[in-house]
Amino acid sequence: MTDLSFWTQSPPAPSQARINSARQRQDSLTKPPGSLGQLESLAIALCGQLDTEKPAVDRVQITVFAADHGVCDEQISAFPQSVTGQMIANFAAGGAAISVLSAALGAELDVVNLGSIGPLAEMPGVINHRIAAGTANLAREPAMSEAQLVAALAAGDQAAQRAADRGAQLFIGGEMGIGNTTTAAALACALLGAAPTDLTGPGTGLSKQQVTHKTAVVERALARHGDNQDPFAVLASLGGFEIAGLAGAFLGCASRGIPVLVDGFIASVAALVACRQQPALRPWLHFAHRSCEPGHSRVLDALEANPLLDLSMRLGEGSGAAVAVPLLRLACALHNGMASFAEAGVSEGS
Ligand SMILES: Cc1cc2ncn([C@H]3O[C@H](COP(=O)(O)O)[C@@H](O)[C@H]3O)c2cc1C
Ligand SMILES: O=C(O)c1cccnc1
């Protein structure tokens, strides 16, 4: 196989000393211990990840990876494949949901084109890492070659490096690729040993009958793939360039000490692949929301993830993660700004 040794390096663990002192501080603040629930654990984890006493997520990097999927030949999406390229232009022009959310948060937004079928336009505001005009049809043949997998992982790692160069305190990975709920379902089935009926859903809005057809396509892909569970072999066989980009970015962020806020079904499947490759990634991940796509809950369970929000969202692009950023900011504000029992002269419990 092409050189994948870079991704076998274990990310460092978040600082245990910072985690211990942050937990002590939370227990000293003027509230019953534990009463701020997940906001407490969020702040504590961020102290360890950012190696600081006073965490902040003012500087947020959002990177959307886009690519097309050969499996669209099987009629598995409610939308035409051309929408991927059209949405790349929409991201760059500021009209997509993630563009608006990113601007509202004051975040940096990068759009990385890893392989849309559309013309290779020199679109201003789009980073071009075009690997091919989409993946091969994974129901019939491996989605990508090893060299293509390495290129996609490397593009993700470069995105993590740009985040580090900008001093990002949080990374959100978004995706755009018509057909990628089929790809993500196939990946998750292969890694979890799950049945396609459990993980295949409507995506952009298929009818029940169309979902049955999509499930049969996932079944064919799994039969072709076989039982190899090596995470990167599964990714090359059943993945997408944007999902591999996300996996590379998540691993690259953890190795550079940047916490990651994971979006919906597709991003969580990328996180699952990356965690199977490198379990030390898991402590760097926060999970933003539970998507409506039915396979998401199963993937979250496999990652032992308890997402912050459940807003009936099913968009992708990093949108659910962007919506959760204010919660992380508020968790930091509480951690940094509340008075302790001693400072406020409030009596502690027994
Ligand atoms: C206009 C539009 C914008 C989107 N932004 C994200 N997705 C989402 O839908 C796609 C996956 O669904 P499926 O597998 O059913 O094609 C991905 O591109 C995903 O990011 C979009 C889909 C559409 C149509
Ligand atoms: O949860 C997601 O990531 C998702 C769900 C449906 C369509 N696109 C993305």
Task: Tell whether ligand 2 has an atom less than 6 A from the beta carbon of residue 266.
Answer: yes
User: Which CATH number applies to 60-328?
Assistant: 3.40.50.10210
Closest atom of ligand 2 relative to the 313 alpha carbon = 1
* Separation CA 51–CA 22 (nearest Å): 11
Residue of 77, 263, 265 to mutate, ligand 2, most atoms within 8 A of C-beta: 265
Q: Write down the domain spans for the chain.
A: 60-328
Question: Which SS3 state, helix, strand or coil, does residue 66 take?
Answer: strand
Query: How would DSSP label each residue in 113-164?
Result: EEE-SS-----TTEEE---SSS---TTTS-SS-HHHHHHHHHHHHHHHHHHH
**Atom 22 in ligand 1: which residue has the minimum CA distance?**
204
Distance of CA 21 to the CA centre of its chain: 29
Catalytic residues: 317
Neighbours of 238 (CB within 10 A): 31
> What pLDDT is attached to residue 9?
79
Residue 4 has pLDDT above 90, yes or no: no
Residue 110 sits at the vertex; the CA angle it makes with 128 and 172, to the nearest 5 degrees, is 130
Percent of the chain with pLDDT over 90: 95
Sign of CA pseudo-dihedral 314, 319, 323, 328 = positive
Percent of the chain with pLDDT over 70: 97
* Separation CA 151–CA 248 (nearest Å): 10
Confidence band, pLDDT 50/70/90 cuts, at residue 3:
low
Encode burial over 257-294: b for 16+ CB neighbours within 10 A, e otherwise: bbbbbbbbbbbbbbbbbbbbbbeebebbbbbbbbbbbb
Confidence band, pLDDT 50/70/90 cuts, at residue 118:
confident
Evaluate whether 325 touches 261 at the Cβ level (below 8 Å): yes
* Separation CA 335–CA 315 (nearest Å): 31
Q: How far is the CA of 338 from the centre of ligand 1 (A)?
A: 41
Q: How far is the CA of 295 from the centre of ligand 1 (A)?
A: 16
Query: What is the reported pTM?
Result: 0.98
- CA atoms in the 13 A half-sphere facing the CB of 256: 24
**Atom 21 in ligand 1: which residue has the minimum CA distance?**
315
Residue 154 sits at the vertex; the CA angle it makes with 151 and 160, to the nearest 5 degrees, is 150
* Separation CA 241–CA 193 (nearest Å): 22
Q: Length of the chain in residues, anyone?
A: 350
Residue 197 has pLDDT above 70, yes or no: yes
Q: What is the mean pLDDT of residues 302-312?
A: 98
Residue of 69, 116, 204 to mutate, ligand 1, most atoms within 8 A of C-beta: 204
Task: Tell whether ligand 2 has an atom less than 6 A from the beta carbon of residue 314.
Answer: yes
Confidence band, pLDDT 50/70/90 cuts, at residue 1:
very low
Which residues form the pocket of ligand 1, taking CB atoms under 6 Å from any ligand atom? 77-79, 83, 87, 175-182, 203-204, 315-317
| Closest-approaching ligand to the CA atom of 264 | 2
Confidence band, pLDDT 50/70/90 cuts, at residue 280:
very high
Neighbours of 229 (CB within 10 A): 12
Q: What is the mean pLDDT of residues 195-206?
A: 98
Q: How far is the CA of 203 from the centre of ligand 2 (A)?
A: 6
Q: What is the mean pLDDT of residues 52-74?
A: 98
Task: Tell whether ligand 2 has an atom less than 6 A from the beta carbon of residue 291.
Answer: yes
Residue of 65, 84, 178 to mutate, ligand 1, most atoms within 8 A of C-beta: 178
Confidence band, pLDDT 50/70/90 cuts, at residue 124:
confident
